[in-house]
Chains A and B, each alone.
Chain A
Amino acid sequence: MSILIARKVRKTYGKRSLAQEVLKGIDLEVEKGEFVGIMGPSGSGKTTLLNVLCSIDQVTDGFVEINGQKLQGMKERTLAKFRRDELGFIFQDYNLLDTLTVKENILLPLSLSTIPKAAAEKRLQDLVSILGISDILSKYPNEISGGQKQRTSAARALISNPSLVFADEPTGALDSKTATALLDNLSEINKAKNATIMMVTHDAVAASFCSRVLFLKDGQIYTELYKGDKSRTEFFQQILNTQSVLGGEQGEA
């Protein structure tokens, strides 16, 4: 069953003569339990696509359905509650609150929930030990490194056991060891909890953790690759090949 369906999604920034069409009609379906990667050159609209899929941004045209519910036409309040209960976010620029400690930041999505403190504490301890940030819990964001911020952001995304996780360049600021740890962790959550994950990345290694990779170019889906029964190394090689066919500078997001 498809957990996410996007039909003819268009997104235009700016008005009239300044208008820039970033997404030019995207059709997309994601099955429950999939780990989908989105790749593409910088400025190709990856972040924009993620934002419209997860209801943070509005589409100009077309529609998006999550769990059979059409986002367009849903009330702002219902959408927000939906995001809070069903979705998890790992943002490119972390999006941590400066005034909160790491622990408070991670527990933020639960601040209006009825989950008992002990259960929340258990989830938190599990996550931070997997992500290796147990000893910075009482620090503030301006006292920790970029990688630690990203892992905090990941912990916050997963604390509410979301059915769909959106991750924008989650490994962008991490060294390869931490990046692998985080990706392993995402895979594990994907498998063990059958959580669906959509991850934007420009890193072929990161993409090779996915079960399917979409390539975005000029606002359209250029092609997609399935991992199938291939090993990770084979899949990685295939991604690299597609990237080189696709061209364009790949360096950053």
Chain B
Amino acid sequence: MKLSQLVFKSMQKNMRHYYLYFFALIFSVTLFFSFVTLQYNESIIAATKVSGTASSGFEAASYMLYFIVLFFVLYANHLFIKRRSKEIGLYQLIGMTKGLVTRLIAFENILLFIGAVSIGMVLGLLSSRLFAMILLKLLQFDAVVTMTFSKVAVVNTLMVFGVLLVIILVQMAFMVRKTTLLSLFNASKQADERVKSFSVFPMMMGAIGLGLIIYGYYRSTVLFTGQTTNLFLSMVIILATTIGGTYLVFRFSVAFLLNLFRLTKKGHLNLTDVLALTPIMHRMKGNAKSLTLITVLTAVSLAITTLSYISYYSASSSAEDEMPADYIAVDGREEPFIQALKQEGIAFEQKTFRLTSAQFDLATIFSGDVIGMFQGNTLSDALIIPLSDYHQLNSKVQLNKGEAIITGFSGFQSNIMPIEAPIDLTLLHQESEIPLRIKEVNDTAVLAWRVTAGGFIVVVEDSVFNQLQRLNSEYAIGYSTQEQTSINLTNADEETYKQVEKLYKQTGANVLFKSHEGSTVNKLSSQRSTVEYNLNLFGTTIFTTAFLGLAFLLATGSILYFKQMSEADEEAESYRILRKIGFTQDELLKGIMMKQLFNFGVPLLIGLLHSYFAVRSGWFLFGTEMTTPLLITMTLYIVMYIVFASLTISYYKKIIKQAL
């Protein structure tokens, strides 16, 4: 028989094994090719011009993607070889030389790669259109997406997968060379993990693992506070302790705890123990590494996705913080704008806030760690608004004599240097002192960020406000803005907003500050254009990180799924036995579900915990809102894991059904 005939014969016979590997290859090509196509697409290039870093961001992401793909394909190939070890052994048994076997497998792989790359590119072209539409939507960029077959992308993809093929061929040749017949036949037998007696070592190692994780978590919570002196070193320590700890927990604690539990049963196992507990224990030694890897990758991708989603999510909420109303004008410049709105018959609401300033000593409200940052100069300005104006936002607030509240204190600032109410704050104006008791600190945005310049706002009784206003009319300190008017449109549609945007600019209501000669003009932007600006600025980053997160998620999910598929194949014999001696398919499936709860649930749970602490440590650098984006991405991940787990269970179901 000629080599090519032999190849086709064996490919035909091993279709089931190929199918998985082939799918993994196609999937990788699709993902990679669609991303690279996107990178070189004209409409995308046009849309991402706003952020100057887009193209380098894309490039960095494509390297990352290459690593994901590399890792994923190598892993799939590893599983593929393992599943076929018997076949490879058989070839050698019937007298093929190792050289011939290597050539045979190489030939097969080349065929598979050619097929996968061709199919993957077609799918990639189709999906890149979808991704492009998503990206443009993120950027709020109206354009029809035309996808062209980019030559650069094709060459790029061919090169990347060519290199990958070479790596795989070398890996294969190496494996065939170094394996003996006997080891090939035994390759699918797993190392056996069982602890016969109560042993101190695994218990200690497991405890150490848990301790490391907890220590890493603790370090992450104080990462961006005064307690951390070397940021980089801290990050390395956190990564090392959590990853190392995770491995130790998987490698020692899990099997140890399960074994303890098993020993208490004294041989009287129930069916779940038989189907879930004992196979998990049995495979734990071999699976610890891959479970750790999957957990860490899940955590990393979840954290990346969450952080990028936080910045995206915050694009509008941080715009709302920056511009707490649709349109804002200061010091009476709203008049012509309001006239114009009335003329056009556009419905709106208006709130006016009177402002004045005072000074205070930072040292009285912030802790020592924070004060160090100001290097001795601790006198700062505060913006003051009267309670009666604040009532427009919240009519319930009441202040007793000498009481005040702090508002507009949020984001980065409130995380790095928190203020705990109640606290005493003394307002200063030259020689005058007004002692106040702050009874509440909140993050309600009242004034435009450009007006406050990041400082917080103190809401005081009207009498106090009047006193300060009088003092400032004699000798002005602090902020120059005297009044802010917030204008919100009611029931406006898209067209109206566009029209009003023009009016806002034409009437000069957007001017914040104008020098006497008119040479420097500072302008405010409407809330909508602030959102747009933010989206444009972060859109590409968000898209690429989300894309990578998705790639990671799909890769880890598929790996778990593939792993379980081959585990199911290996355990088919057990299911046959169990069905013979009278267990029903449903009973077996119940046990399998418990097993999957562990296989998917534990990496997911630990991954979620890891990512929670990762995100918590520095989310405020990315945006203004943590809980919602975190919950949404976590839910998405949980859903995806449930999908993969269900796929796995349905595969098991098939195996169980066919077992007898």
Q: Look across to chain A and name the residue whose beta carbon is closest to the beta carbon of B196.
A: A138
Is B440 located at the chain interface by the 8 A CB criterion?
no
Is B585 located at the chain interface by the 8 A CB criterion?
yes
Q: A52-94 toward B: CB 8 Å interface, digit per residue (1/0)?
A: 0000100000000000000000001100111111010101000
Choose one: B196, B269, B281, B585; the contact of A111 (CB below 8 Å).
Answer: B269
Contact (Cβ within 8 A) B582 A82: yes
Residues in B with CB closer than 8 Å to A99 are 274, 278-279, 281-282, 574
Is B98 located at the chain interface by the 8 A CB criterion?
no
Q: A97-B574, A99-B282, A138-B196 are in contact. Are A104 and B267 (CB under 8 A)?
A: yes
Contact (Cβ within 8 A) A108 B192: no
Contact (Cβ within 8 A) A97 B274: yes
Alpha-carbon distance A100/B586, docked complex (angstroms) = 21
Alpha-carbon distance A108/B278, docked complex (angstroms) = 13
Is B9 located at the chain interface by the 8 A CB criterion?
no
Q: A56-B580, A95-B580, A156-B581 are in contact. Are A120 and B279 (CB under 8 A)?
A: no
Residues in A with CB closer than 8 Å to B270 are 111-112
Choose one: A82, A112, A117, A124; the contact of B587 (CB below 8 Å).
Answer: A112
Q: Look across to chain B and name the residue whose beta carbon is closest to the beta carbon of A78.
A: B584
Chain B nearest Cβ from A67, distance in angstroms: 15
Chain A nearest Cβ from B530, distance in angstroms: 61
Residues in B with CB closer than 8 Å to A82 are 582
Is A109 located at the chain interface by the 8 A CB criterion?
yes
Q: A56-B580, A95-B577, A140-B192 are in contact. Are A104 and B274 (CB under 8 A)?
A: yes
Contact (Cβ within 8 A) A109 B582: yes
Contact (Cβ within 8 A) B269 A84: no
Alpha-carbon distance A91/B579, docked complex (angstroms) = 13
Q: A99-B278, A100-B269, A117-B268 are in contact. Are A84 and B583 (CB under 8 A)?
A: yes
Is B168 located at the chain interface by the 8 A CB criterion?
no
Alpha-carbon distance A61/B586, docked complex (angstroms) = 27
Is A149 located at the chain interface by the 8 A CB criterion?
no
Is B660 located at the chain interface by the 8 A CB criterion?
yes
**Which residues of chain A from 14 to 73 have a CB within 8 Å of any chain B CB?**
56
Is B271 located at the chain interface by the 8 A CB criterion?
yes
Is A137 located at the chain interface by the 8 A CB criterion?
yes
Is A103 located at the chain interface by the 8 A CB criterion?
yes
The interface residues of chain B, by DSSP majority, are classed as: helix
Q: A104-B274, A140-B192 are in contact. Are A83 and B581 (CB under 8 A)?
A: yes
Q: B62-75 toward A: CB 8 Å interface, digit per residue (1/0)?
A: 00000000000000
Is A194 located at the chain interface by the 8 A CB criterion?
no
Q: A190-229 toward B: CB 8 Å interface, digit per residue (1/0)?
A: 0000000000000000000000000000000000000000
Is A101 located at the chain interface by the 8 A CB criterion?
yes
Q: Look across to chain A and name the residue whose beta carbon is closest to the beta carbon of B267.
A: A103
Chain A nearest Cβ from B117, distance in angstroms: 38
Alpha-carbon distance A108/B192, docked complex (angstroms) = 20
Chain A nearest Cβ from B490, distance in angstroms: 64
Is A107 located at the chain interface by the 8 A CB criterion?
yes
Contact (Cβ within 8 A) A112 B583: yes
Alpha-carbon distance A211/B576, docked complex (angstroms) = 32
Q: A97-B577, A99-B282, A120-B268 are in contact. Are A108 and B582 (CB under 8 A)?
A: no
Alpha-carbon distance A89/B578, docked complex (angstroms) = 11
Chain B nearest Cβ from A250, distance in angstroms: 27
Choose one: A56, A107, A112; the contact of B267 (CB below 8 Å).
Answer: A107
Contact (Cβ within 8 A) A77 B584: yes
Alpha-carbon distance A85/B279, docked complex (angstroms) = 25
Q: Look across to chain A and name the residue whose beta carbon is closest to the beta carbon of B283.
A: A99
Contact (Cβ within 8 A) A89 B580: yes
Alpha-carbon distance A132/B600, docked complex (angstroms) = 42
Q: Look across to chain B and name the residue whose beta carbon is closest to the beta carbon of A137.
A: B267
Residues in A with CB closer than 8 Å to B578 are 97, 108
Alpha-carbon distance A120/B576, docked complex (angstroms) = 24
Residues in B with CB closer than 8 Å to A103 are 267
Residues in B with CB closer than 8 Å to A104 are 267, 269, 274, 278
Alpha-carbon distance A182/B273, docked complex (angstroms) = 30
Alpha-carbon distance A81/B269, docked complex (angstroms) = 18
Chain B nearest Cβ from A203, distance in angstroms: 23
Chain A nearest Cβ from B263, distance in angstroms: 10
Chain A nearest Cβ from B606, distance in angstroms: 24
Residues in A with CB closer than 8 Å to B267 are 101, 103-104, 107, 124, 137
Residues in A with CB closer than 8 Å to B271 are 111-112
Contact (Cβ within 8 A) A111 B274: yes
Residues in A with CB closer than 8 Å to B194 are 140
Residues in B with CB closer than 8 Å to A112 are 270-271, 583, 587
Q: A76-B585, A77-B584, A82-B582 are in contact. Are A100 and B274 (CB under 8 A)?
A: yes
Residues in B with CB closer than 8 Å to A76 are 584-585
Alpha-carbon distance A109/B660, docked complex (angstroms) = 17
Alpha-carbon distance A84/B660, docked complex (angstroms) = 15
Alpha-carbon distance A84/B582, docked complex (angstroms) = 4
Chain B nearest Cβ from A168, distance in angstroms: 11
Interface centre among B268, B279, B282, B576 (most CB of A within 10 A): B268
Q: B247-279 toward A: CB 8 Å interface, digit per residue (1/0)?
A: 000000000000000000011111101100011
Chain B nearest Cβ from A53, distance in angstroms: 13
Q: A56-B660, A99-B279, A100-B278 are in contact. Are A107 and B268 (CB under 8 A)?
A: yes
Alpha-carbon distance A82/B267, docked complex (angstroms) = 24
**Which residues of chain B from 582 to 613 have a CB within 8 Å of any chain A CB?**
582-587
Contact (Cβ within 8 A) B192 A80: no
Alpha-carbon distance A95/B274, docked complex (angstroms) = 15
Alpha-carbon distance A95/B579, docked complex (angstroms) = 11
11 contacts between A and B (CB under 8 A): A56-B660, A77-B586, A80-B587, A87-B582, A95-B577, A98-B282, A99-B279, A100-B278, A120-B268, A121-B268, A137-B267
Query: A: which residues have CB within 8 A of B?
Result: 56, 76-77, 80-85, 87, 89, 91, 95-101, 103-104, 107-112, 117, 120-121, 124, 137-138, 140, 156
Query: B: which residues have CB within 8 A of A?
Result: 192, 194, 196, 266-271, 273-274, 278-279, 281-282, 574, 576-587, 660
**Besides A104-B269, A111-B274, 13 other A-B contacts (C-beta < 8 A):** A56-B660, A76-B585, A77-B584, A89-B581, A98-B574, A99-B278, A99-B282, A109-B582, A111-B269, A111-B273, A112-B271, A112-B587, A120-B268
Please provide the 4 A-B residue pairs with the shortest distance between their CB atoms, ordered closest to farther: A84-B582, A83-B582, A103-B267, A80-B584
